[in-house]
Amino acid sequence: MAKKEISSQFKIQAPGGQATPAPPIGPALGQHGVNPGQFIQQFNDRTRPLNGKVVGCVITVYKDRSFEFEVKAPPVAVLLKDAAKVDKGSGVPHKEKVGSVTMDQVKAIAEEKGKELSGHTLEANCRIVAGTARSMGITVED
């Protein structure tokens, strides 16, 4: 079978299992020729276990208007907010701290993100996650 010709490829972030075709998702899909209802149904079925956690998604649209999508792990910032049990990061992260996480939690987040982070080792990925925590005003405890 011949390979399908790719028309476009784009990324969106949506709540797992609870996405709707309302803006901003519906219009983003529509402008690339994807049927929003069909995509939302498939996306919600595939991400139901995540139940509301924001996840990234890479959508590939082909010339015949068919599509494929790959669900990524939630962003590091979302995982850190869950681990620290805070609603949002600090507006002035170097002065006001909003929460703290342990090094074990940082390691668990780095393992969950795995290949999506740019570090070559688990230790390097832990440093990436710890840096994100610091920039959000979350203290990393040993």
Q: List pLDDT tens digits, range 103-113.
A: 898 898 888 88
Q: Does residue 25 have a pLDDT over 70? A: yes
Rounded Cα gap, residues 8 and 59, in angstroms? 8
Tokens of 45: 């079925």
Claim to verify: residue 86 and residue 128 sit in the same structural domain: yes
**Same-domain check for residues 52 and 38:** yes
Per the prediction, the chain carries an average pLDDT of 85
Token pair recorded at residue 125? 């990925």
Residue 127's domain is classified under what CATH number?
Answer: 1.10.10.250
- For residue 102, what are the domain limits? 76-141
Amino acid identity for residue 124 in this structure = A
pTM of structure: 0.75
Tokens of 54: 């924001």
| Confidence at 89, pLDDT banded by 50, 70, 90 | confident
Residue with tokens 């570090």: 119
Where is pLDDT greater, at 3 or 134? 134
The pLDDT-based confidence of 2 (bands split at 50, 70, 90) is low
* Average confidence (pLDDT) over 121-125: 88
Percent of the chain with pLDDT over 70: 99
Q: Considering all CA atoms of the chain, what is the largest pairwise distance in Å, rounded to the nearest integer? A: 59
